[in-house]
């Protein structure tokens, strides 16, 4: 019999928020790939969806590992996922904010905000909960 899963509502909320925000950004990015300025030619909608799924699995795994007592490993996965959520900001290295439309900027911004929230929650837990 496996150990019960510890439910951490704050952590679950930010992981789900990241998953939703990254899904919104990735769907928009995949469906309007040709409209995003200066995107690499090798990118494809299928690749964008696969990337979202892979990254989200890292976040879910981190939450589950953390809840099953693998605190340090779980937090490491969650920190990686939070950093991934900031990756959308790379769009602004390819083209300035003004070259992106409002929906692009909204999806990028939501993803980044939720990534910062996840990083803040995990870092806070690192200081207050035994790893």
- 39-60 residue pLDDT tens: 999 999 999 999 999 999 999 9
Residue 61 domain-assigned? yes
* CA–CA distance, 51 with 70 (Å, rounded to integer): 25
Residue 80 domain-assigned? yes
Residue 83 domain-assigned? yes
Structural domain boundaries, residue 84: 15-128
Q: Could you tell me the pTM of the whole model?
A: 0.90
* CA–CA distance, 65 with 71 (Å, rounded to integer): 7
Q: Measured in whole angstroms, how far is the alpha carbon of residue 72 from the centre of its chain?
A: 19
Residue 60 domain-assigned? yes
Question: How many structural domains is the chain composed of?
Answer: 1
- 4-32 residue pLDDT tens: 666 889 999 999 999 999 999 999 999 99
Residue 93 domain-assigned? yes
């Amino acid at each position: 019999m496996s150990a019960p899963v510890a439910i951490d509502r704050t952590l679950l909320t930010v992981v789900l928020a990241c998953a939703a925000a990254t899904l919104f950004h990735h769907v928009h990015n995949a469906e309007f790939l040709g409209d995003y300025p200066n995107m690499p030619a090798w990118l494809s909608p299928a690749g964008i969806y696969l990337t979202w799924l892979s990254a989200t699995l890292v976040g879910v795994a981190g939450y589950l590992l953390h809840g099953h007592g693998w605190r340090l490993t779980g937090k490491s996965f969650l920190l990686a996922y939070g950093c991934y959520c900031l990756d959308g900001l790379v769009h602004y290295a390819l083209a300035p904010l003004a070259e992106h439309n409002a929906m692009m900027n909204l999806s990028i911004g939501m993803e980044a905000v939720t990534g910062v929230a996840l990083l803040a929650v995990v870092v806070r837990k690192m200081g207050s909960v035994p790893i």
